A and B are shown apart, each in its own frame.
Chain A
Amino acid sequence: MPPAAAPTRCLVLWFPDWPVTAWRLAEDAPPADAVAVVEANEVVACSTAAYGEGVHPGQRRREAQARCPELRVVPADRLRDERQFAPLVDRVEQVAPGVQVVRPGLAALRVRGPARYYGGERQAATALLDGLDDLGGGGRAGVADGIFTAEQAARDADPILVVPGGGSADFLAPLPVSRLGDAELAGLLPRLGIKRLGDFASMDARQVRDRFGDRGVRLHDLAGGRDSRPVTARTPPPELARQIEFEPALTLADQVAFSVRATAEDFVAGLAAANLVCTELRVHLLAEEGEHCERVWLHPACFDAAAVVDRVRWQLQAAAGTVIGSGLVRVRLEPVAVDAISHHAAGLFGAGADEKVHHVLSRVQAMLGHEGVVTPTIGGGRWLAERQVLVPWGDRAVLPRPAGRPWPGSLPDPLPATVFADRRRVEVTDANGARVGVDDRLLLTGTPAVLAIGAARLRLAGWAGPWPVAEHGWDPARATAGCRFQVADDTGGAWLLVLDADGWWAEGRYD
């Protein structure tokens, strides 16, 4: 084993309970709520309010909810943590270069340069924290020899703690062994009578190796303030997002589409320079009066400049008049998902059949709008129209109701070949012309004899029903109730009818 290098002087920025902060930043939630981020039924992080109620990391979810009934439980999302931490890292890099992201919520950098520039380690830490003030997070800074010691200093900081050079061992000595972050040692050492890092550090290194192996030796070094890990500064990633500002604000979608073309080309070229293509794109529109509209667009293959411009236009057309009421001042294009460009290169002998299909369907989509070309998917539900979900070409199918459930009350085969998206108004009468209805006991008030659709009057040759369907009886906003009937007319047609509080409707036609 090579001799351990002397620990470098480090500054660590620590953001307590970062998963909670990240969720709050992503959801724009108020900071006062009791929130717990939970992974595998165990609390990973929780907010100050939740701490106050007795919730703490490592607790089981049910126990946390018992302690604090109003606790808001949020599933852990590593990507969200990373995404929300990125702007902070960017800001830190503006103040001092060479940042290592240890994990989301914990960043380290070599302090020598900033300390010299800002006139002292404390001043450098103050400058960094001041720079992050407006991004939220409530960061703390610790300065010490080595990342581990600096992290421990940041945990005890309020909000800055500087451990003088060479004082690591003295600083760490009174801390509990659980600070090593190793569950096995944290459980075992106190039972051996070793409760503080100082006790552990004073053990003989050979004995530690014999008992705990290499990992034990490493932790033993950490406890003694001999953290040999250097700070590995990250290379700032290339800026792939692009934006364009309009001055004065643009009011016509065509103007925007025309102006955004160059930006879109730049966006695609920037990705291509990094050997990437964009498969998922976030378009952010900002209008003059502060309204904004954001949407993620998918592409079955990858976005080229024209496809990006189309998405901007569609989003603008959908948002105009509803979400956005004034002129547009900014369009921002961000890649959400990228793929290696080599996966999307055209084949040597031309593109495959599906590629051609995609090109043509995209062209029709550009002609008619995003919803112009759809593929059907079957979802769950009881009514025919809500079971068939039309997914715009290129989008991911999102089923509002899961398809795999039994859905009692849904119809078996054969099903109507014609399903009216908006039910048609019809009328069913008995032989005397009186309207047929059902009473509270689902008994018919007459025998259906005539079906009137618009001006046409069809004599019924057979009928079956009523089959009651009642949904969401507990929620007045979503509640639907009705009785289904199948009727066959004497011209050879058959209909699926619904009788609800508003009268008779045709849901579908068997043709």
Chain B
Amino acid sequence: MSVRAAELPSRDALQQLVRAKAGTAKVHHLVPVHPALAPLLPDGGLRPGAAYSVTGGALLLTLLAEPSAAGSWCGVVGVPELGAEAARSAGVALDRIALVPQPGERWLSVVAALAEVLPVVAVRPAGRVRDADAARLAARLRERSCVLLVCGDWPRVEARLAVDEARWEGLGEGHGYLSGRDVVVSVATRSTATPRHVRLVLPDATGRLSAKAPGTGPVELRAVG
């Protein structure tokens, strides 16, 4: 029996079909991010079921702020020194965040448990995570539509968000007060070869992320006349 080539769907069409089947439900439920960060991420937000690597406490708080403001619960595992006041300033709703500061050896099972119901879980792994464990957790994340934010190493991440070229403003030699930090946030994804960058102020004078042009440094006083 022969099969005619014309009846077989092309590879592209198959891929489209698969993508449509796999992606339909998910794409609508992206976890929102700050508008200034959205263009850097491949989907314009955090994709449920994926893991993202994050460096820096302020960036983590910024990522937690948007879903938290939208009414979602967030979990933070293994970060005992998370600054709660900075989190509040960044826009995180403190009555909808659950902290597990000292999970110890069982951090992985704690993350797996929280991933069942919380849409966003941040974790600082207590040790090296094995590929098999990561794969099992990834399956759980996909099944439960949970976003995992990792402060540290993780085998397969969707994107790596990092703070590059940070510079604090407002501090002089013995005077001033920290007023904001000019940063370049870089996002390296699996699909894009080169990282994308954006220049931001994180945190600004109110503790939030802002995209406006950075202000000038401290005014230097000089003796004149």
Contact = CB atoms under 8 A, between A and B. Distances in A.
Interface string B170-190: 011111111111010000000
Given A375-B98, A376-B94, A494-B171, A415 B85 contact: yes
A418 interface: yes
Contacts of A376: 82, 84, 87, 94, 97, 99
Contacts of A390: 84, 99, 101
Given A419-B83, A464-B172, A494 B99 contact: no
A413 B89 contact: yes
Contacts of B117: 353, 356-357, 359-360
Interface stretch (A101-109, A342-350, A363-371): A363-371
Contacts of B172: 462, 464
A508 B100 CA distance: 20
Contact of B106 (A368, A420, A463): A368
Interface string B187-225: 000000000000000011111000000000010000000
Interface stretch (A217-225, A307-315, A485-493): A485-493
27 contacts: A368-B100, A368-B110, A373-B100, A376-B87, A384-B85, A387-B85, A388-B84, A414-B179, A414-B180, A414-B207, A419-B83, A420-B81, A421-B80, A444-B174, A462-B168, A462-B171, A463-B171, A464-B172, A464-B174, A464-B175, A464-B176, A464-B177, A486-B171, A493-B166, A494-B181, A510-B181, A511-B56
A343 to B, nearest CB: 21
A417 B84 contact: no
A373 B106 contact: no
Contacts of A462: 168, 171-173, 176, 218
Interface residues of B, number: 58
B95 A375 contact: yes
Nearest to B202: A414
Interface in A353-410: 353, 356-357, 359-361, 363-364, 367-368, 372-378, 384, 387-388, 390, 393
B37 interface: no
Given A364-B110, A368-B110, A416-B86, A494 B173 contact: no
B16 interface: no
Contacts of B40: none
Lowest 3 CB-CB distances: which A-B pairs, in order?
A417-B57, A492-B166, A462-B171
B133 interface: no
B175 A418 contact: no
A3 B106 CA distance: 77
Residue of B84, B88, B207 with most chain A CB atoms under a 10 A cut-off: B84
B20 interface: no
A374 B99 contact: yes
A510 B118 CA distance: 27
Contacts of B73: 353, 357
A415 B205 CA distance: 9
A375 B171 CA distance: 33
Given A368-B106, A415-B85, A494 B100 contact: no
A447 interface: yes
A367 B86 contact: no
B46 interface: no
A361 B81 contact: no
A486 B114 CA distance: 37
A360 B166 CA distance: 38
A492 B98 contact: no
A416 B166 contact: no
Interface in A457-490: 461-465, 486-488
A70 B118 CA distance: 56
B26 interface: no
B97 A494 contact: no
Contacts of B81: 418-421
B58 interface: yes
A487 B101 CA distance: 27
Contacts of A357: 73, 98, 117-118
B85 A375 contact: no
Contact of A375 (B89, B94, B174): B94
Contacts of B101: 374, 390
Nearest to A486: B178
Given A360-B114, A418-B57, A373 B166 contact: no
A378 B114 contact: no
B102 to A, nearest CB: 7
A430 to B, nearest CB: 12
Interface in A195-240: none
Contacts of A375: 94-95, 97-99
Contacts of A418: 57, 81-83
B98 A384 contact: no
A492 B82 CA distance: 19
Given A414-B181, A414-B204, 6 more contacts: A353-B73, A361-B98, A373-B99, A388-B85, A415-B86, A492-B167
Contacts of A353: 73, 117
A420 B117 CA distance: 29
B178 A494 contact: yes
A364 B173 contact: no
Contact of B103 (A368, A377, A378, A486): A368
